[in-house]
Amino acid sequence: LAVMAILSSGHDPQQGPYAKAVKRAIDFVLSMQRSDGIFANDTVGNVGNQACLYNHAIAGLMLGEAYGMTASTENQKMRSAIKNAVTYSRRLQTAHKRSVHDKGGWRYPAAWGPNDSDLSVTSWQLMFYRSVKNAGFDVPGDHIKEAMEFVHRCFDEKEKAFVYAQQHGPDRERYSSGGVVGGGIIAMVMAGEPRSDKVRQSAEWILNHPFDDYNRRKHFEDRYHYSAFYCSQAMYQVGGEYWERFYPDFTRVLLKNQNADGSWDPESRAVSYTHLRAHETRHDL
């Protein structure tokens, strides 16, 4: 994420004040790739944990974006790593799913809850696929088509927005959040469906769930900064009146709450997950 922030600011990884730092960062990411193709830091925890597939997709996305900007010697290392990463992602995408509704999507490598795919992880994997495909790597159309079929199934007609997962289940994973709705929109736009009714209705959902209350969201699984990351990209891609209605207020809140050193506060939640779980346990009893 740090590398992409620097590159998006117009800096070149081959020259300029940040070139050496970017090269070191890319080398670090490459060094984290395991023999099976996943980018995962073993010191952070088991490769089956929640963070690992996010790490994998974000690392792959970064390498796809940086691939065309690096020297030929670096390209060779990156090319091999990206190919292995795509193979790993595809293997998880086609792994056995307990429900046909989860086919085409991704979930954490270890079994987790009632669903075998969720839109949050899937959106990142699709961005990874699109990035490396744009960089010239072979990502067959059926890989993306199968993932998009899952994305479409994650649209909830009652909510009029994308939801996190297909099934209700004991963990109540069929909910909308800024990150999920924004991720769904970006997936649709990348797949060539920017004018879809699902995109339009989801953009309206974002406008109806603004970021006015800094670092606070209504749903206990809706993380403020994560949602801000996805929703800002989504609304920019949708454009027009949606962007015009979203951007000014959103920017005002972010600038007002930026710390003196340039950072923002750590993520907070409106409702404590631990407290909610304790409440549900008491209720069940």
For the residues of 32-81, what is the DSSP string, one character each? TB-TTS-B--TTTS-TTSTTHHHHHHHHHHHHHHHHTTS-HHHHHHHHHH
Residue with tokens 């490598």: 109
Of 108 and 260, more confident:
260
> pLDDT confidence of 271, banded at 50, 70, 90?
very low
| DSSP E strands, the chain | 155-156, 161-162
Looking at residue 270, the DSSP 8-state letter turns out to be: S
> pLDDT confidence of 275, banded at 50, 70, 90?
very low
pLDDT, mean of residues 2-30: 93
Task: State which amino acid sits at residue 211.
Answer: F
Q: Give the model's pLDDT for residue 46.
A: 55
pTM over 0.85: yes
110: pLDDT strictly greater than 90: no
Radius of gyration of the CA atoms of the chain, in A: 19
147: pLDDT strictly greater than 80: yes
Express as a percent the part of the chain with pLDDT over 90. Answer: 75
Asked which of 77-86, 128-137, 200-209, 270-279 is least confident by mean pLDDT, the reply is 270-279
Looking at residue 101, the DSSP 8-state letter turns out to be: G
For residues 212 and 69, what is the distance between their CA atoms, to the nearest angstrom?
Answer: 37
Check: CB of residue 112 under 8 Å from CB of residue 167: no
* Torsion of Cα atoms, 135 then 139 then 143 then 148, to 10°: 20
pLDDT, mean of residues 254-281: 73
Instruction: Tell how many helices (H) and how many strands (E) occur in the chain.
Output: 11, 2
Q: Which residues pair with 155 in a beta bridge?
A: 162
Single out the residue of 39, 99, 40, 46 nearest to residue 63, CA to CA: 39
pLDDT, mean of residues 253-275: 81
Asked which of 33-47, 54-68, 224-238 is least confident by mean pLDDT, the reply is 33-47
Single out the residue of 203, 213, 255, 191 nearest to residue 234, CA to CA: 203
Q: Give the model's pLDDT for residue 111.
A: 61
Single out the residue of 74, 66, 192, 85 nearest to residue 129, CA to CA: 85
User: What DSSP string runs through 194-210?
Assistant: TT-HHHHHHHHHHHHS-
Residue with tokens 């009632």: 114
Asked which of 74-88, 113-127, 152-166, 264-278 is least confident by mean pLDDT, the reply is 264-278
pLDDT, mean of residues 175-183: 96
pLDDT, mean of residues 9-18: 90
Looking at residue 115, the DSSP 8-state letter turns out to be: -
274: pLDDT strictly greater than 70: no
